[in-house]
Structure formats: C-alpha cells, structure tokens
Amino acid sequence: MKKNKFTSPVYNVIAVPVEKIQANDYNPNHVAKRELDLLYHSIKADGYTMPIVCYYHPVNDVYEIVDGFHRYAIMLRYKDIFERENGKMPVSVINKNISDRMASTVRHNRARGKHEVELQASLVAMLKKGWDELKIMKELGMTLEEVQRLIGLKGIASEIKGIPYSIERQIVEAGEDISDENY
C-alpha cells in the first residue's frame, strides 16, 4: 500500500467569516478600477467560482490572504455580495512558512500576468534575506537576469532613499571624481 499522496488544498475549501480574514503586507499586485468593476460584475453574476488562498494563524485565529485579495475586497466593498454570501468567503488553506507564502503570491500573480515591478523588487529583496538567487529563480519562475535586476533595482532605491537630490551636489561630486583621477 502506498503512502498518502499530496492532496491539493482546493479539495478542502472552507467557508470563513470575512472578519476572520486579513490582507498580507507583501502582495505586489494591484488591479485597475475597470478590472475591479469587472470582478464585481463577475462575482455578482456567477458567484465566487474560485476560493481565496489563505494561511491560518492559529494564535490569532485569522486567515491571512496569500492570493485573492481583490475577491476579498469585493466582499468588503459591496453589501449585496456580503449579504448574498452570508459574510463568508470560500477559502483554500495552505500551511507554508512566510517565504513560501510570498513565493506562492508571486506565482499566482505572475500566472495571471499582473505584477508591479517596484513591489516585486521589494518582495525579492525580502526573500533574498533567506534565499539565494537560484531558489528565488526556481520558486518565482524567474530568470537569473530578472532576479538580479530586481535585487539591483531595490538596492539602488535603498541607497538613495532619504538623500535629497541636488544637481549642485552631483556637479561637485563629479568634479571631485575628475580631479581625483591621475592622468
């Protein structure tokens, strides 16, 4: 007899009261108003056809969104949807550490073709604290060039953050560089 195989979380969708669900603080995906209106129309016409993906925090008894924030936002924003759904969201629960949840968020977003570069760079920088480039490439479906570009983009931003731009300062610094060179 074989050991129990992996069972996809979608086979265990549960109805969770919306007040027990919270957004994560790392999702780099934003939806334009037009697409959000379309999502509302879709949910109104068809109901929730896909569960949101969450991680359950047993200590706080809350479900943190990994994927599906905008479906959740529709529930919060539109009273007709909230009432029809009895204030509950279909939730598929995954049990992963924070780095793996962040990677899951990126994979879900990239699979739909929506992902903001600046926020993605922030996410890669966070993952970089615990993962090497090869793991980031594998887990986020990126090329080495993409990972390095995003790490660099985030690095440059952190280097100049808080330093006011000044053309005069740039000219002085350029002049110092030139005068320091030995010809």
Between 81 and 144, residue with greater pLDDT: 81
Whether the CB-CB separation of 91 and 16 falls below 8 Å is answered with yes
Strands (E), the chain: 14-17, 21-22, 52-57, 62-67, 88-93
Whether the CB-CB separation of 156 and 148 falls below 8 Å is answered with no
- Residue 38 confidence class, pLDDT cut points 50, 70, 90: confident
Q: What is the pLDDT of residues 108-164, one digit of tens each?
A: 555 454 445 555 665 666 566 676 777 777 766 667 777 777 667 655 444 434 444
pLDDT computed for residue 161 by the predictor: 42
% of the chain beyond a pLDDT of 70: 62
Decide: helix, strand or coil at residue 64.
Answer: strand
- CA 118/CA 132 separation, integer angstroms: 20
- CA 183/CA 178 separation, integer angstroms: 10
Between 43 and 67, residue with greater pLDDT: 43
Domain boundaries of the chain, sorted by first residue: 11-115, 116-183
The CATH class of 11-115 is: alpha beta
Between 11 and 108, residue with greater pLDDT: 11
pLDDT at position 176 over 80: no
Token readout for 23 is: 């957004």
- CA 99/CA 183 separation, integer angstroms: 50
